[in-house]
Structure 1
Amino acid sequence: MKIAVLSGKGGTGKTLVSVNLAASAKESIYIDCDVEEPNGHLFFKPKAVQSEAIAIRTPSVDEKLCKGCRICVEFCKFNALAYIKDKLIIFDEVCHSCGGCVLFCPAKALSEKEKVIGEIQSGVSENVGVITGILNTGEASGVPIIKKLLTCASSDKQFTFIDCPPGSACIVMESIKEVDYCILVAEPTLFGVHNLNMVYELVKLFNKPHGVILNKCLEEENPAEKFCIENSIKIIGRLPFDRQLGRVNADGLIAIRESQKYRDLFFYLLQRITREVEDETVTHP
């Protein structure tokens, strides 16, 4: 059961939800796909951490063989190649590693070299396998790391929780492609509604079953709740605006490991989500 946790921006409680749901399960895998700023490991503090470098393949030119035909330049739709002053220039930052330029070069002047763009760290925190993707500073895309991260989802664990990057860009799309269910985390503000709508449109585009967890709920009117009701979006649960919960989270602690109150709250949410996924499986096998 692969469950993605999304939000339209950072700070809504996406990591709070995904970390505590993963810790609530008997056994689970937590995958941090927010490769530009991963922080789930700060809560889990995993042990026995192992690291694996992630590399992409980018073209390299042998200037002695290059005839200046520009076939590679014309082929590349990402403008990663340019022929300037009798010299082929390669812009690694925008290369999508398709390998087409190498295949089409009639002079065989192009080959591929490996470029390390980040790493994956894997460890264990009690009942949770913690897998974190880290993109090197300055790299253009974390998609190759996310693709590798998602191969780490274990089939022998009932739950895999995917902590997605904030927003709705291509790295988020890659994170949810193969999931069974999406949880959208929203704040009770008009700005929160804007961000909720952003990821709501995304999961609809991918035709993913989904529900909303409303975070930081107060007694007063909640625009995010109103948006869910108007759009017939299922509300899975509500997290209160709770100073103690905020303090625990700010201290880098996992709430369910600190308090029975939060253990009960997130275990209820986990049961609710499990029923939602099972119902979707029966309805749309």
Structure 2
Amino acid sequence: MRIAVLSGKGGTGKTLVSVNLASAAKESIYIDCDVEEPNGHLFFEPEGVKEEEVVIKIPTVDEQLCNGCRTCIDFCKFNALAYISGKLRVFDEVCHSCGGCVLLCPEKALSEKEKVIGKVQKGVSDNVTVNTGILNTGEASGIPIIKKLLNENRSEKEKLTFIDCPPGSIMDKEN
């Protein structure tokens, strides 16, 4: 069973509730999805912590191949691409890493590069497996980190899982 602890704002005690519920269970998983300011691990002090970087794919431009057709710009609904002073510019901060621009480029002027946006940590503290997501300073979105945290623990259905959600969260029925 997965239980998400969430609220519309920060400072309401989500971490306090989820940490205590996870500690009280015979065996549980605690997932800290507040990737901008994770602090659940401070209560658990997990041991044997393993880290894994979280990367996203960002388009990169081969200026020799780009003919300025703007097909990629027209496709991107997040305005992560712009044609300025005769050059295609990529704005990493607003790119959602969908890869559509790369697929649609008729000249194959776009390819993808990996960009590290943060990391996930996993360790154990007594009866609790502690999973933490950490967004690198200056990154615009922690959603890929949260998705990784939630998807990695989906297979452990027999364990009670407590999800400490970020401030301002809503959860859909699939998560």
In which range does the TM-score fall when normalised by the shorter chain?
A: over 0.9
- Give the CA deviation at 1:138: 1.1
Alignment of 1:1-285 (within 5 A): 1-153=1-153, 154-155=155-156, 157-168=158-169, 172-173=170-171, 177-179=173-175
The superposition leaves residues 174-219 of structure 1 with CA deviations (integer Å, 9 ceiling, x where unpaired) of xx5434xxxxxxxxxxxxxxxxxxxxxxxxxxxxxxxxxxxxxxxx
SS for the counterpart of 1:72 is: helix
Q: Which has the higher contact order (CA 8 A, sep 6+)?
A: 2
- Cα distance in 1 for residues equivalent to 2:82 and 2:157: 48
SS for the counterpart of 2:163 is: strand
- Cα distance in 1 for residues equivalent to 2:121 and 2:61: 33
Amino acid corresponding to residue 9 of structure 1 in structure 2: K
Q: Give me the TM-score of the superposition, normalised by structure 1.
A: 0.59
The superposition leaves residues 241-263 of structure 1 with CA deviations (integer Å, 9 ceiling, x where unpaired) of xxxxxxxxxxxxxxxxxxxxxxx
CA contact (8 A) 1:6 1:14 kept: yes
The superposition leaves residues 83-106 of structure 1 with CA deviations (integer Å, 9 ceiling, x where unpaired) of 011100000000011111011111
- Give the CA deviation at 1:11: 1.7
Unaligned runs of 5+ in 2: none
- Cα distance in 1 for residues equivalent to 2:53 and 2:173: 23
- Cα distance in 1 for residues equivalent to 2:157 and 2:84: 54
- Cα distance in 1 for residues equivalent to 2:165 and 2:20: 15
CA contact (8 A) 1:28 1:157 kept: no
- Cα distance in 1 for residues equivalent to 2:173 and 2:59: 28
Amino acid corresponding to residue 178 of structure 1 in structure 2: E
- Give the CA deviation at 1:156: 5.1
Pairwise CA RMSD of aligned residues? 1.2
Amino acid corresponding to residue 73 of structure 2 in structure 1: V
How many residues are paired up?
Answer: 174
Q: Which has the higher strand share?
A: 2
The superposition leaves residues 102-121 of structure 1 with CA deviations (integer Å, 9 ceiling, x where unpaired) of 11111100000100000000
Unaligned runs of 5+ in 1: 180-285
- Give the CA deviation at 1:61: 0.4
SS for the counterpart of 2:152 is: coil
The superposition leaves residues 224-250 of structure 1 with CA deviations (integer Å, 9 ceiling, x where unpaired) of xxxxxxxxxxxxxxxxxxxxxxxxxxx
Amino acid corresponding to residue 165 of structure 1 in structure 2: P
